[in-house]
Amino acid sequence: MAQPVKKTTYKSQRKAEAEKQEKQRKAMKKLFWITGIVVVVGIIAALIFTPKADPTAFEYDQLPILGKADAPVKIVEFGDYKCPSCQVFSQQIKPQIEKDYIESGKVAMYFMNFPFIGEDSTTAALAAQSVFHQNNDAFWKYFDVLYKNQQDEHTLWATPEHLVQLAKDNAIDVDLDLLKKDIEDRTYQSEVNKHTKAANAANVMSTPTLFINGEEFTGSFGDYPAIKKAIDEALAAGSTK
């Protein structure tokens, strides 16, 4: 005897479609979560394993240098010509580093501008950069002259006229007319800005701040024994950033 054929009612058809849609919804939800997890894991992996730019990988060949370029230890000072602490460092600590390390070729010192004290901090930086581009050796003489003649940090003293006069009075071996023009035209403003950007990237909070072979010296800038110890450790390590 033939079996009766079951009829598919409208109600049962809707139920079947609803069940099918629910299965599809759950499958899509599962796929969504799996995709999300994969994306998150990918982002975390990228953050962990992607090499990060080193903010202290300085472009030494573009900076004023005191000493030999092939010195095994390189010290970068971030400074402001209106900074009283920088004056102390330039007059009391730098000469000791020169005597103990730079003259023997073990250390080279470099300078980068971080002019934040007053508007004439930038003017002084522009003057110094002009001198550097004319004569690297003259830069360091002018560097010492600026700090020797530094006035109160709250006084606007580093004017273009005064900065040119200082170079003239101290026989700085540069073209004074070009120096004056460079200051007035802000010829090296982009370089000063680049130095400031590097300081911010390296989280420099004050001046003077020293980096020894790319590593920030976190001790006191006036503690020469501590600086000497850091230099000796860098010499022993023998690597430069």
What is the CATH classification number for the domain harbouring 184?
A: 3.40.30.10
Does residue 28 sit in the same domain as residue 100?
no
Residue 84 lies in a domain: yes
User: By residue range, what is the domain housing residue 118?
Assistant: 60-237
Using the predicted structure, report yes or no on whether residue 6 has a pLDDT greater than 70: no
**Per-residue pLDDT at 33:** 61
Residue 7: phi, psi to the nearest 5?
-90, 140
Q: What average pLDDT does range 197-226 have in this prediction?
A: 97
Residue 21 lies in a domain: yes
Does residue 91 sit in the same domain as residue 119?
yes
Using the predicted structure, report yes or no on whether residue 207 has a pLDDT greater than 90: yes
Does residue 32 sit in the same domain as residue 64?
no
- Burial class, 190, CB count within 10 angstroms (exposed 0-12 / middle 13-18 / buried 19+): exposed
Residue 32 lies in a domain: yes
DSSP string, 120-150: HHHHHHHHHHHHHHH-HHHHHHHHHHHHHT-
**pLDDT tens per residue across span 59-88:** 999 999 999 999 999 999 999 999 999 999
Does residue 45 sit in the same domain as residue 108?
no
d(CA 33, CA 87): 60
Tally of CB atoms within 10 A around 103: 11
Q: Tokens standing for 33?
A: 């979560």
**Per-residue pLDDT at 38:** 52
The amino acid at 75: I
d(CA 107, CA 199): 21
**pLDDT tens per residue across span 170-195:** 999 999 999 999 999 999 999 999 99
d(CA 73, CA 107): 5
Does residue 41 sit in the same domain as residue 74?
no
Does residue 73 sit in the same domain as residue 180?
yes
Does residue 38 sit in the same domain as residue 117?
no
Residue 176 lies in a domain: yes
Number of domains comprising the chain: 2
Q: How confident is the model at residue 55 (pLDDT cuts 50, 70, 90)?
A: very low
Does residue 44 sit in the same domain as residue 93?
no
Mean pLDDT of the chain: 87
